[in-house]
Homo-oligomer: A and B are copies of this chain.
Amino acid sequence: MAKENTAPLKGTRDFLPEDVRRREHVLAVVRDVYGRYGFEPLETPAMERLETLLGKYGEEGDQLIFRVLHRGAELGRALDAVRARANGAAPESREEARAAFKRDELALADSALRYDLTVPLARVVAEHQARLPRFFKRYQIQPVWRADRPAAGRFREFYQCDVDIVGSRDLVCEVEVTSAVCEVLDRLGFDDYRVRLNHRGLLRGMIEAAGVPLEHEVSAITELDKLGKVSPDEVRASLVERGVSADAAARLLEVALVATDRRPDAQVLEALEDTLRSERGRAGVADLRQLLALAAHAPCGRRLRLDPSLARGLSYYTGPIFEIQVSDLAGSLGGGGRYDELVGMFLRQPVPAVGFSLGLERILVVMAERGMFPNLAASAQVMVLRLDERTTPEALRAAAELRKAGVRTELYPNIDKLGKQLQYADARAVKLAVFVGEREQAAGEVAVKVMATQEQHVVSSGALVETVRRLLGT
């Protein structure tokens, strides 16, 4: 009989204890810092109504949504509908076949797995408005699911780690979320990152000033977003391919790359302002100026760097945008921005919001590559051995006492030879082994062995906790 496939599904991972400890190390810092900023935790269900998700992530996104199949009678009815259509005429064209497929797909499921944490936030804001504070500062750390083709560092199940302020248009909110993210990175030990800063209004102004027709705005932003991954020449070529004139493409790139000459941000803004003609572009410059002035008094100040080439692919941003860059990673460690027209989508009224999403998986990758994890405690510090049945009561009592004192203690579960138990204690990397033999039992004593040095202390059982604490140095 062939062994069943027990590997986790493509694009998903099992997190063994060491993995969980590393993830928890990062998440504990995130929760602590976000808590200090007054952000509060939110959690939403893994499944959402399909209609809540469809149409929010573009055509491509819709196809990456995992849908949950109907069951029982509902599935029966859906299958009847599929079969009834099949018994009709065969589809005449590719479009008809495509439409039939979409109709059948839609009949088979009406719920789906969460694709991001922003649409659920918008749903929660609409549903629980009366219970939420006027300024809703929430963080949310939960997995999302996308049927992407798995690749290095790209998974079908991965955690998002979002922080947002809902309800204010004030630029101080940009400074707050960015500072919170910077403090997370600082605390984790990152010391070389930059937060690239741009503004959707400024991008619009640049596009207008370069003479790129507005119907090409989305293409232009998509292409600009690739700068850094592909060369300026390639971006220029792609722009032309998408229908932008060669002149306009060249002018756009020139403006976008103005920051690479390393002038101070204020000077770059001044230079840009001179080239802009539209109200929206100038308003963007004014926002950036004010944001940088505020940031000078906040933890994010020294990390921010204006970069007019930053575009961020997502179409929903309406104001400042951000992206965290480290030298040894092509992608970013996270990004965000202001999006004043998304959170209110279910309320059908604008609800201003600004947020940041940290890329947990990437942070973990970089930290592992750079050896940034502290020595994360293996689960147990002490192993209590079991020499025989008669001394097991003493072993149980020793374990209970140590645990009560907060010492992480494993009890060896079987009665094996002492050597075998010590070998296991060694493999489990505990610092101390504790055991009670017949002699110790008779004398009311307990033996404590330091695994590293093999030195052994026999103390009265009343002194166990104190001895262990001393030897652990806690």
- Name A residues whose Cβ lies closer than 8 Å to a Cβ of B: 1, 3-9, 12-17, 19-21, 23-24, 35-49, 51-52, 63, 66-69, 71-72, 75-76, 79, 82-83, 86-87, 101, 104-105, 108-109, 111, 113, 123-124, 126-128, 131-135, 137-138, 143, 145, 147, 156-157, 165, 167-168, 170, 172-173, 175-176, 179, 183, 294, 296-299, 346, 348, 379-380, 383, 386, 392-394, 396-397, 399-400, 403, 406-415, 424, 427-428
Contacts and interface: CB of A to CB of B under 8 A. Distances in A.
Contacts of A168: 413-414
Select the residue from A47, A128, A167, A170 with max chain B CB neighbours within 10 A: A47
Contacts of A51: 4-5
B392 A294 contact: yes
A408 B36 contact: yes
A135 B413 contact: yes
A427 B392 CA distance: 56
B45 A6 contact: no
A359 to B, nearest CB: 18
A399 B37 CA distance: 8
Given A6-B52, A72-B63, A170 B408 contact: no
Contacts of A147: 71
A43 B14 contact: yes
Closest 9 CB pairs of A and B: A38-B410, A12-B45, A17-B40, A83-B86, A168-B413, A38-B380, A20-B41, A6-B127, A297-B393
Contact of A113 (B68, B72, B400): B68
A6 B183 CA distance: 34
A298 B69 contact: no
A175 B3 CA distance: 34
A160 to B, nearest CB: 14
A409 B168 CA distance: 17
Nearest to A415: B170
A379 B46 contact: no
A42 B133 CA distance: 36
Contacts of A8: 44-45, 127
A33 to B, nearest CB: 8
